[in-house]
């Protein structure tokens, strides 16, 4: 499932080193950071963050708990938490199974609306010498918004390799959250050079229905300043995550990480925010629009831009579908004001006696007659 | 027997047409079956006006008689499904909005949930639901967002909510993310959707 890529790379490499890890160990980190974030459609904002993480690990199992507290410039805050457990089956030749379970919740400005519970089964095949491998996985779970649960399904295929001190990872997955569906192709790399751990990943979201599309990627450098302290520089762009309810955005951040000595694996980042929306300017379109004038008298003004037209007509249920000519204004604008009763109404526009079409600015719907009709509401 | 049935249909059609002169505009081949459908809807308590308008729309658009009859029949079925989901006492405007929401992709269960969640008329919430789906918001995400708001906000707020979602989508947010974010914001009361700050020259703000 989406974007716990650092954990994914780490988990893949853990698989390779399982036989060399003798006993259980517990590691912990706390990041204290500042960042600038820009969610798509919103102004850039500064934020301060505290992100603790605790990981308990045995040769065949692990349990990770992590959280993030974010305080924005506006005074709003966000809290999110996740707990993930992982259990490996005994190896059979080069095959190995893995079960993962994740539960999490997020809270923005005192209002919890997202939580999720997800289970995943992976089948690994290790490469020769343990220097790489592939896996396939299936995911099932639920994600809830405001008490309304949605089913989460996913399938993925992935491969990883280690070469010359560089860990490489690539995956392709298909996720379905309710009736939102999307596919992500991702690649990640991680290496350590001296006191610095470099990480980067890039992805593209395609075949999306409701999950957004586009290219994204993040990079970070973790600079060790001793056995217990590191500085983390990071930035990038991440996609919408329908499971956790986050929307896409960009960020750049600086954090000080305090960690236990064995905590070499970076904390997977997450962006659990659901920032408030922006104001509305209504719909507009250079080819025409309708405006519903909220003056209490249910007057609706129809405006169509058609500079070259000699006649512009509308028809709708408010005219009993009899054509009504618009008045020519200046600048190629045609308009008419009609009082329309409360309700949902259908409208079509015709220019110079041509076909009836749905005007831009109204919701378009199939009209049962092989074309489209505009739909608007008078509240 | 067939003659008797034809006689009854023609009698009904003539009676409805006499009551509804607008049907005279329909193609002669469509007039009788449409009139029969409208009469049947009236008998079962469904609103006739949307059916008349759907027939007139087809006539204005030059659709063949068979297509007009099929469109009216389909709408009557949608209105019936909407009434099943919303309840027998549902107002005609709500039924029409419910039929549009079902046609857009909302499930009958969502309509029933909306009825339980909101004690005010449902015409606007159902229209907003249909608009969101048409904007690319997946039906279940749209339903979840509207359900979050339906119990507590006014119709005007819901209209502003829909506009805010459309704006966010236009600005690049995913449809599902936009609906979720705006619904959450409005449910929190972080932003008054109906305030003047959200209209006209309103600008994006900080999270």
Same domain, B167 and B152: yes
CATH top-level class of A289-378: mainly beta
Q: Does domain A5-259 have CATH number 3.30.420.40?
A: no
Query: Average pLDDT, stretch A286-297?
Result: 54
Q: Are B104 and B180 within one domain? A: yes
Optimal mutation site among B181, B198, B203, interface A, most CBs of chain A within 10 A: B181
My answer on whether B144 and B189 are in the same domain is yes
Is pTM beyond 0.90 here?
A: no
Asked if pLDDT for residue B117 goes beyond 50, the answer is yes
**Cβ atoms A246, A143 nearer than 8 A:** no
Q: Going by C-beta distance under 8 Å and a sequence separation of 6 or more, which residues neighbour residue A257?
A: A29, A30, A31, A32, A222, A229, A230, A231, A232, A267
Nearest-CA residue of chain A relative to B93?
Answer: A343
Contacts of B141 in chain A (CB under 8 A): 145, 150, 178-180, 210, 242
pLDDT given at position A253: 92
Mean per-residue pLDDT of chain A: 78
Residues A154, A157, A162, A163, CA torsion sign: negative
Same domain, B85 and B163: no
Residue A82 has pLDDT above 70, yes or no: yes
Which residues of B are less than 8 Å from A212 in CB distance? 173-174, 177
The interface predicted TM-score (ipTM) is 0.79
Question: Where do you find CATH 2.60.40.10 in chain A?
Answer: 289-378
Give residues 281 to 300 of A whose Cβ lies within 8 Å of B: 281-283, 294
Does the pLDDT of residue A358 top 80, yes or no? yes
Residues B80 and B123 in one domain: no
DSSP notation for B27-54: -HHHHHHHHHHHHHHHHTT--SHHHHHH
Regarding predicted confidence, which is higher, A293 or A48?
A48
Reported as a single tens digit per residue, the pLDDT across B60-79 is 999 999 999 999 999 999 99
- Mean pLDDT to the nearest integer, B93-105: 91
Q: Which residue has the higher pLDDT, A322 or B175?
A: A322
Q: Are residue B97 and residue B168 in the same domain, yes or no?
A: yes
Nearest to A321 among B53, B175, B204 (CB): B53
**Which residues does chain B have within 8 Å of residue A276's beta carbon, measured at their own beta carbons?**
181, 184-185, 188, 190-191, 205, 207
User: Per mean pLDDT, which range of A16-30, A75-89, A103-117, B133-147 is the poorest?
Assistant: A16-30
Determine the Cα–Cα distance for residues A240 and B169; give it in Å rounded to an integer.
12
Q: How confident is the model at residue A119 (pLDDT cuts 50, 70, 90)?
A: very high
Neighboring chain A residues of B184 at a CB cutoff of 8 Å: 108, 111, 113, 245, 274, 276
When divided into structural domains, chain B yields a total of: 2
Tell whether the model's pLDDT for residue A263 goes beyond 60.
no
Q: Are the beta carbons of B123 and A377 separated by less than 8 Å?
A: yes
Q: How far is A303 from chain B (nearest CA, A)?
A: 17
pLDDT band of A242, cuts 50, 70, 90: confident
Mutate to test the interface with A, among B95, B132, B176 (most CBs of A within 10 A): B176
Q: What is the pLDDT of residues A133-147, one digit of tens each?
A: 888 999 999 988 666
- The shares of helix, strand and coil residues in chain A, as percent rounded to the nearest 5, are 5, 65, 30
Q: pLDDT band for A73, please (50, 70, 90 cuts).
A: confident
Of the candidates B58, B89, B120, which is a domain's last residue?
A: B89
| pLDDT attached to residue A270 | 28
DSSP codes of every residue in A203-227: EEEEEEEBS--EEEEEEEEEEE-SS
Residue A284's pLDDT is what?
Answer: 34
List every span in chain A annotated with CATH 2.40.160.40: 5-259
Which of B103, B144, B13 lies closest to A346, judged by CA?
B103
Residues B145 and B67 in one domain: no
pLDDT > 50? residue A307: yes
CB contact under 8 A, A370 and B63: yes
Is 80 exceeded by the pLDDT of residue A188? Answer: yes
Tell me: do B154 and B123 sit in the same domain: yes
Question: Of the residues B22, B57, B89, which one is the last residue of a structural domain?
Answer: B89
Q: Are B40 and B71 found together in one domain? A: yes
Q: Which residues of A145-180 are buried (b: 16+ CB within 10 A; e: fewer)?
A: bbebbbebbbebebbbbbeeeebbbbbebebbbbbb
Mean pLDDT check: name the lowest of A145-149, B147-151, B184-188. B184-188
Tell me: pLDDT of A196 over 70: yes
Return the closest-CA partner of residue B168 out of B125, B123, B127, B136: B136
Measuring CA to CA, which residue among A222, A190, A186, A223 is closest to residue A204?
Answer: A186
Residues B78 and B3 in one domain: yes
Domain extent, residue B174, equals: 92-207
Which residues of chain A are within 8 Å of residue B168 when distances are taken between CB atoms?
40-41, 277-278
* A chain contacts of residue B173, beta-carbon cutoff 8 Å: 39-41, 212, 240, 247-248
Query: What is the model's pLDDT at position A95?
Result: 83
Question: Is residue A79 over pLDDT 70?
Answer: yes
Cross-chain Cβ contact B207/A275 below 8 Å: yes
Kindly state whether A317 is in contact with chain B, defined as any CB-CB distance less than 8 angstroms: yes
Rounded Cα–Cα distance for residues B205 and B207 (Å): 7
Which residue in B183, B184, B206 is closest to A108 by CB distance? B184
Q: Which of B29, B56, B89 is the last residue of a domain?
A: B89
- Same domain? For B159 and B81 the reply is no
Check CB contact under 8 Å for B184 and A248: no
Interchain contact, A246 vs B177, CB within 8 Å: yes
Classify residue B203 by its DSSP letter. -
Q: What is the mean pLDDT of residues B149-164?
A: 79
Query: A with B: how many residue pairs have Cβ under 8 Å apart?
Result: 256
Interface probe, candidates A35, A278, A346, A358, chain B, greatest B C-beta count within 10 A = A278
Which of A145, A179, A282 is opposite residue B139, by nearest beta carbon?
A179
CB contact under 8 A, B168 and A274: no
Nearest CA in chain A to B128: A377
Residues B156, B197: one domain?
yes
Q: Considering Cα of A271, then A150, then B164, then A368, what sign does the dihedral take? A: positive
DSSP state letters, A245-298: TB--EEEEEEEEEEE-TT--SPPPP----------------TT-EEEE--SSS-
């Amino acid at each position: 499932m989406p974007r716990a890529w650092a954990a994914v790379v780490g988990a893949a490499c853990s698989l390779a080193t399982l036989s060399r890890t003798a006993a259980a160990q517990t590691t912990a980190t706390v990041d204290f950071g500042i960042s600038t974030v820009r969610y798509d459609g919103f102004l850039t904002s500064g934020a301060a963050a505290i992100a603790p993480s605790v990981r308990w690990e045995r040769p065949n199992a692990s349990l990770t708990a992590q959280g993030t507290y974010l305080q924005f410039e506006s005074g709003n805050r966000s809290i999110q938490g996740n707990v993930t457990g992982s259990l490996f089956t005994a190896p059979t030749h080069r095959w190995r199974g893995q079960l993962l379970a994740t539960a999490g919740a997020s809270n923005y400005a005192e209002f919890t609306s997202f939580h999720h519970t997800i289970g995943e089964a992976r089948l690994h095949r290790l490469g020769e010498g343990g220097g790489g491998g592939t896996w396939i996985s299936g995911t099932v779970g639920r994600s809830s918004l405001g008490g309304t649960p949605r089913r989460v399904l996913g399938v993925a295929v992935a491969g990883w390799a280690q070469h010359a001190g560089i860990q490489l990872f690539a995956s392709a997955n298909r996720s379905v959250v309710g009736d939102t569906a999307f596919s992500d192709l991702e690649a990640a790399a991680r290496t350590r050079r001296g006191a610095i751990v470099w990480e980067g990943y890039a992805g593209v979201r395609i075949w999306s229905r409701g999950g957004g599309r586009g290219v994204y990627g993040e990079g970070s450098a973790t600079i060790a300043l001793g056995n217990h302290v590191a500085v983390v520089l990071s930035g990038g762009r991440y996609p919408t995550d329908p499971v956790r309810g986050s929307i896409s955005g960009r960020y750049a951040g600086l954090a000080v990480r305090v960690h236990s000595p064995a905590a070499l694996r970076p904390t997977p980042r997450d962006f659990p925010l659901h920032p408030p929306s922006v104001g509305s300017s209504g719909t507009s379109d250079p080819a025409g629009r309708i405006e519903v004038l909220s003056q209490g008298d249910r007057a609706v003004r129809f405006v169509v831009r058609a500079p070259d037209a000699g006649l512009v007509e509308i028809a709708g249920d408010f005219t009993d579908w009899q054509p009504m000519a618009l008045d020519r204004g200046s600048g190629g604008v045609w308009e008419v004001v009609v009082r329309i009763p409360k309700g949902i109404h259908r409208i079509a526009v015709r220019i110079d006696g041509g076909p009836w079409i749905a005007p831009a600015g109204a919701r378009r719907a199939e009209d049962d007659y092989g074309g489209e009709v505009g739909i608007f509401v008078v509240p | 027997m067939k003659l008797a049935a034809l006689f009854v249909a023609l009698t009904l059609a003539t009676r409805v047409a006499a009551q509804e002169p607008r049907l005279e505009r329909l193609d002669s081949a469509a007039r009788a079956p449409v009139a029969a459908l409208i009469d049947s809807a009236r008998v079962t308590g469904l609103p006739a006006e949307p059916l008349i308008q759907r027939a007139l729309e087809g006539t204005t658009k030059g659709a063949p008689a068979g297509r007009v009859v099929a469109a009216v029949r389909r709408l009557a079925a949608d209105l019936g499904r909407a009434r099943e989901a919303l309840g027998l006492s549902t107002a005609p405007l709500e039924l029409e909005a419910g039929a549009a929401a079902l046609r857009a992709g909302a499930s009958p269960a969502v309509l029933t949930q909306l009825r339980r969640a909101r004690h005010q008329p449902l015409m606007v919430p159902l229209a907003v639901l249909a608009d969101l789906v048409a904007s690319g918001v997946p039906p279940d995400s749209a339903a979840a967002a509207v359900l979050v708001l339906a119990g507590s906000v006014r119709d005007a707020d819901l209209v502003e909510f829909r506009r805010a979602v459309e704006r966010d989508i236009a600005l690049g947010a995913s449809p599902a993310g936009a609906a979720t974010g705006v619904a959450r914001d409005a449910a929190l009361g972080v932003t008054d959707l109906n305030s003047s700050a959200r209209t006209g020259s309103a600008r994006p703000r900080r999270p």
